[in-house]
Amino acid sequence: MQRLSASIAASAGAILLLALAYLLFWPVPVQPKAWQAPVDEGHVDPYLRNDRLRSATHMDLGGHTGPEDAARGADGALYLSTREGVILRLTSDTQVAKVWARTEGRPLGIEFDGHGNLLVANAELGLQRIDRHGTVELLLDTVAGEALVYPNDVAVAASGKVYLSESTRRFSPRLFGGTYPSSILDLIEHGTSGRVIEFDPDTGTGRVFADGLSFANGIAVSADQRYLLVAETGAYRIWRYPLSGAPREILLDNLPDFPDNLNNGLQGRVWVGLIAPRNPLLDRLAERPFLRKVIPRLPANWRPQALPHSHVIAVNVDGQVLMNLQDSAASVPMITGVLETRQSLYLTSLTSEHLARLDKRDLATH
**Going along 158-300, which residue ranges are E strands?**
162-166, 194-200, 205-213, 216-221, 227-232, 237-242, 249-252, 257-264, 270-277
Q: Judge if the upstream peptide bond of residue 151 is cis by omega within 30 degrees of 0.
A: no
Residue 20 inside a domain? The answer is: no
CATH code of the domain containing 282: 2.120.10.30
Would 19 be classed as within a structural domain? no
pTM, two decimal places? 0.94
- Domain, as residue range, for 119: 34-364
| Count of structural domains within the chain | 1
Q: What is the pLDDT along the chain (366 residues), one digit of tens a residue?
A: 566 565 555 555 656 665 555 455 567 899 999 999 999 999 999 999 999 999 999 999 999 999 999 999 999 999 999 999 999 999 876 678 999 999 999 999 999 999 999 999 999 999 999 999 999 999 999 999 999 999 999 999 999 999 999 999 999 999 999 999 999 999 999 999 999 999 999 999 999 999 999 999 999 999 999 999 999 999 999 999 999 999 999 999 999 999 999 999 999 999 999 999 999 999 999 999 999 999 999 888 888 788 899 999 999 999 999 999 999 999 899 999 999 999 999 999 999 999 999 999 988 755
For residue 41, tell me if it sits in a domain. Answer: yes
**How many other β-carbons are positioned within 10 Å of the β-carbon of residue 112?**
16
Spatial separation of the C-alpha atoms in residues 363 and 366, rounded to whole Å: 6
Residue 279 lies in a domain: yes
304 lies in some domain: yes
* Residue 14 in domain: no
Residue 233 inside a domain? The answer is: yes
Task: Give the tens place of pLDDT for each residue, 244-289.
Answer: 999 999 999 999 999 999 999 999 999 999 999 999 999 999 999 9
Judge whether 8 lies within some domain: no
